[in-house]
Amino acid sequence: APDGKRNGDIYRDYIDDRNAASEDTLYATSNGVPYPHPYESQRVGENGPLLLQDFHLVDLLSHFDRERIPERVVHAKGSGAHGYYKTTDPLDDLCLADIFQAGKECPITARFSTVGGESGSHDCARDPRGFALKFRTEEGNWDLVFNNTPVFFLRDPAKFPHFIHTQKRDPATHLSGADDSTMFWDYLSQNPESIHQVMILMGDRGIPDGYRHMNGYSGHTLKLVNKKGEWVYAQMHMKTKQGIKNLTQEESMTKSPDHSQKDLYYAIENGDYPGWDVYFQTMTPQEAEDLWENEKINVFDLTHVWPHAKFPLRKVGEFYLNENAKNYFAEIEQACFNPAHMPPGIEPSADPVLQSRLFSYPDTHRHRVGSNYQQLPVNAPRTPYRIGNFQRDGQMAFYNQGSRPNYLSSIAPISFRNRTVDLSSTHGHFIGNAVTFLSEIRPEDFNAPRALWERVWDEGARERFISNVSGHMSTCRKEECIKRQIGIFREVSDDLANRLEKATGIKGYPGISDLRFNGTHNGMARDKNNR
């Protein structure tokens, strides 16, 4: 090149240019040719047709035609920001991940979201909230793809697409749950393992007041491995430093559709940086077996929590969000969070829903953003070492690893880090026969929902719950679904079911012992042949 720059430098300058101010740029077509004005379409005479040679116009329109990428199939409406995490209380006794050693910190990107609605939908929907973080650790990116609730609607991943379809628009009427809740209650009343999540969703935490005032939970059990190769099960809790704040159903109707986006953006813009404390609950494998033996809580069951009293929270660090995206699409919409991204020392458990998610996210990212999505600046790891591997080419290969060999070469060898953990010490042998009914309903499924109703909530919270559920049920077109759902609520509490019957004017089933479910075996069936 005339000024002595090599092509690589020119490319890097180009990347830096993306943040230049408008005043420092010159109007040009996508191939860099200066153009006098954006509104100058070429036409034959005063009233003639346009000219195909007008590359400027073709360039403009054809790029516009391709502006949209698929929105996320779930969690399409979201808000995000950048910040940093720091370890305040090292966890090195339990976990060898570099990020949990004393004094470690890393840059992060967060994206919060609702679940069911489309990209333009209302921020104040009664819906769980997504709570996704990308920790750019010195050992690669760790994506924490959490929700604001500690449990989920299901424990068999095969149900996820069915459940989500009931949260979307009806295929015939094209109406959403806001106008017609029939699909919603049809699904829930056939899949009672959803009850714990339904309680939380219909309770006070069902509509957080923006994203700054909610907690995040891994929900799933993870595994932490230390330097000696010992491991424990773990759950993560992110507790808001701003305090929990929710909206009532009535308050939510008065808010703008972008309430959470505005709240997060302007808090950061005004220097009021939101923060969260990061905690772990941990459990040894033996404690996990005892928990199953004594309380029938399976650590791989996403519909259950670990009781705080038995498994106290241990603080490890905190994070803050202190920087808005300069460009929402580039830095938030194109961000790809994948629960399979974990640094050494953090491993997935055998939770079947988590195991399925490990596949589903990178699969959708390749579809939604493209096969080289990891090369986009927001997704690219920032490690102190240069990353080398043998992935090459594909669409938009921005960073194609230059002239380095694309195979394991002995002529130009790549270096390797020593193994930090012996895999055989952390992965037991999983044996046994195939089991397909992951969701069978047991009496223990109702203990945690009952604790919420009887112990955690006050009278005001109970009243609001009844009003939220009965209000929601008022647009359900099938009384049978409501009768079944009241039967499920009766297993939680007679008091709850009685109040709901009064509020809806519908007499429900007296429990689930005589119900059959199309979504699961009924382990509480009176007639064992009627499961």
**Partner in contact with 75, chosen from ligand HEM, ligand NDP, none, beta carbon below 5 to 8 Å by kind:** ligand HEM
Task: Tell me how far the alpha carbon of residue 314 is from its chain's centroid.
Answer: 23
Q: Please report whether residue 448 would count as binding ligand NDP according to CB under 6 A.
A: yes
Residue 473 contacts which entry, ligand NDP, ligand HEM, none (Cβ below 5-8 A, type-dependent): none
Nearer to ligand HEM, 239 or 357 (CB): 357
Nearest to 520 by CA among 440, 444, 443: 440
Asked if 222 contacts 180 with a C-beta cutoff of 8 angstroms, the reply is no
3-state SS record for 233-291: EEEEEEEECCCCCECCHHHHHCCCCCHHHHHHHHHHHCCCCCEEEEEEEEECHHHHHHH
CB of 377 to ligand HEM, least distance (A): 16
Sole binder of ligand NDP in the list 80, 203, 210, 370 (CB under 6 A): 203
Q: What is the 3-state secondary structure of 360-397?
A: HHHHHHHHHCCCCHHHCCCCCCCCCCCCCCCCCCCCCC
Question: Closest CB to ligand HEM among 156 and 318?
Answer: 156
Residue 409 CA to residue 7 CA, distance in Å, equals: 26
Does position 215 interact with ligand NDP (CB under 6 A)? The reply is yes
Residue ranges of the alpha helices (H) in 71-159? none
Q: Which stretch binds ligand HEM (CB under 6 A): 10-18, 144-152, 228-236, 247-255?
A: 144-152
Nearer residue to ligand NDP within complex by CB, 201 or 421: 201
> Contact between 80 and ligand NDP (CB under 6 A)?
no
Minimum separation from the CB atom of position 430 to ligand HEM (A): 19
Instruction: Please say whether the beta carbons of 117 and 317 come within 8 A.
Output: no
- According to CB under 6 A, which one of 57, 133, 200, 378 is a site residue for ligand NDP? 200
Of 75, 122, 213, 304, the active-site residue reads: 75
Measured CA to CA, the distance from residue 141 to residue 341 in angstroms comes to 6
* Residue 160, binding choice from ligand NDP, ligand HEM, none, Cβ under 5 to 8 Å by partner class: ligand HEM
27 is in an annotated binding site: no
β partners of residue 106: 85
CA triple 80-157-134, angle to 5 deg: 25
Binding of ligand HEM at residue 100 (CB under 6 A)? no
What minimum distance in Å lies between the beta carbon of 243 and ligand NDP?
A: 10
Give the angle subtended at the CA of 262 by the CAs of 258 and 267, to the nearest 5°. 160
Count of residues making up the chain: 531
Picked from ligand HEM, ligand NDP, none, the partner binding residue 146 (CB below 5 to 8 A depending on kind) is ligand HEM
Among 71-79, 195-203, 276-284, 508-516, the segment contacting ligand HEM (CB under 6 A): 71-79
| CB neighbours of residue 229 within 10 Å | 14
The Cα 110–Cα 470 span in angstroms is 35
Active site residue 147: yes
Q: Residue 79 or 504: which CB sits closer to ligand HEM?
A: 79
**Judged by CB under 6 A, which stretch of 165-173, 306-314, 420-428, 493-501 contacts ligand NDP?**
306-314
CA-closest candidate to residue 226, choices 278, 279, 284: 284
Nearer to ligand NDP, 309 or 411 (CB): 309
Binding partner selected for residue 157 from ligand NDP, ligand HEM, none, CB under the kind-specific 5 to 8 Å limit: ligand HEM
Structure tokens at 256: 């703008």
Binding to ligand HEM by residue 117, rule CB under 6 A? no
Say whether residue 200 binds ligand HEM (CB under 6 A): no
Q: How far is CA 236 from CA 206, 229, 312, 509, in A?
A: 20, 21, 11, 38
Which helix (H) or strand (E) is 140 found in, with range?
Answer: strand 140-147
| Residue 448 interaction partner, one of ligand HEM, ligand NDP, none, beta carbon < 5-8 Å per kind | ligand NDP
Q: Is 110 in the site for ligand HEM (CB under 6 A)?
A: no
Question: Which residue from 207, 283, 336, 452 is in contact with ligand NDP, where contact means CB under 6 A?
Answer: 452
The single residue among 451, 503, 506, 525 that binds ligand NDP, judged by CB under 6 A, is: 451
Q: Which of the 8 DSSP states describes residue 489?
A: H
Tokens of 106: 């890393």
Angstrom CA distances, 235 to 146, 178, 212, 223, 523, stand at 11, 33, 21, 9, 27
Please, are residues 297 and 151 in contact by the beta-carbon 8 Å criterion?
A: no
Residue among 56, 82, 141, 147 flagged as catalytic? 147
Query: Phi and psi for 427 in degrees, rounded to 5?
Result: -110, 105
Binding mask 312-351 for ligand HEM (x = CB under 6 A): ------------------------xx--------------
Does the protein bind ligand HEM through residue 219 (CB under 6 A)? yes
Binding of ligand HEM at residue 147 (CB under 6 A)?
A: yes
Which token pair is 405? Answer: 């060999």
Q: Does 484 bind ligand HEM (CB under 6 A)?
A: no
Residue least distant from ligand HEM (Cβ): 130
Q: With binding defined as CB under 6 A, does residue 456 bind ligand NDP?
A: yes
Binding of ligand HEM at residue 145 (CB under 6 A)?
Answer: yes
Give, in order, the Cα–Cα distances in Å from 170 to each of 164, 182, 393, 474.
11, 10, 40, 17
Q: CA 319, CA 336: separation in Å to the nearest integer?
A: 20
Are the beta carbons of 222 and 348 closer than 8 angstroms? yes
- Concerning whether 75 is annotated as a catalytic residue, the answer is yes
DSSP state of 121: S
Q: Is 10 a binder of ligand NDP (CB under 6 A)?
A: no
Binding-site residues for heme sit at 361
Catalytic residue positions, numbered? 75, 147
Interface with ligand NDP (CB under 6 A): 150, 200, 203-205, 215, 237, 305-309, 448, 451-452, 456, 461
Residue ranges that bind ligand HEM, judged by CB under 6 A: 72-75, 78, 111, 113, 130-132, 145-147, 152, 157, 160, 219, 336-337, 353, 356-357, 360-361, 364-365, 368
